[in-house]
Amino acid sequence: MASGKTFCQYKECTKRLNFVELSTTGRCKCLLLFCYTHREPAAHQCSFDYHAQAKVILTKQNQRVEAPKMIDHC
């Protein structure tokens, strides 16, 4: 990669990524670049934990709402 050419970072793939592939597929959430064939997380054994990220997003979006307690004046 010292020559400025970008290659797919899947271990068995030696495909050079062109501009279209770089702009459409982009980086995976594991921060690696892949060709169109290996862009899916299952295709390159992605190390990013999608389930943990989904849990964090859900806990932020679905915060518990509690009403203030009513005081009984009897």
Q: Which domain holds residue 16?
A: 1-63
- Secondary structure class of 18 (helix, strand, coil): coil
Q: Is 56 within a domain?
A: yes
Q: Is 70 within a domain?
A: no
Q: Does the reported pTM lie above 0.85?
A: no
Distant-in-sequence, close-in-space partners of 27: CB < 8 Å, separation ≥ 6: 33
Give the pLDDT confidence score for residue 64 in this predicted structure: 80
Residue 21's CATH number: 4.10.1110
pLDDT in tens, 35-61: 888 888 888 888 899 899 999 999 999
Q: Is 59 within a domain?
A: yes
Quote the tokens at residue 24. Answer: 């459409």
Greater model confidence, 21 or 50: 50
The domain tally of the chain equals 1
> In the structure, what pLDDT confidence band is assigned to residue 74 with cuts at 50, 70 and 90?
low
Give the pLDDT confidence score for residue 55 in this predicted structure: 94
Give the pLDDT confidence score for residue 53 in this predicted structure: 92
Confirm if 33 and 8 have CB atoms less than 8 A apart.
yes
β-bridge partners, 7: 16
Q: Is 72 within a domain?
A: no
Q: Is 37 within a domain?
A: yes
Q: Is 69 within a domain?
A: no
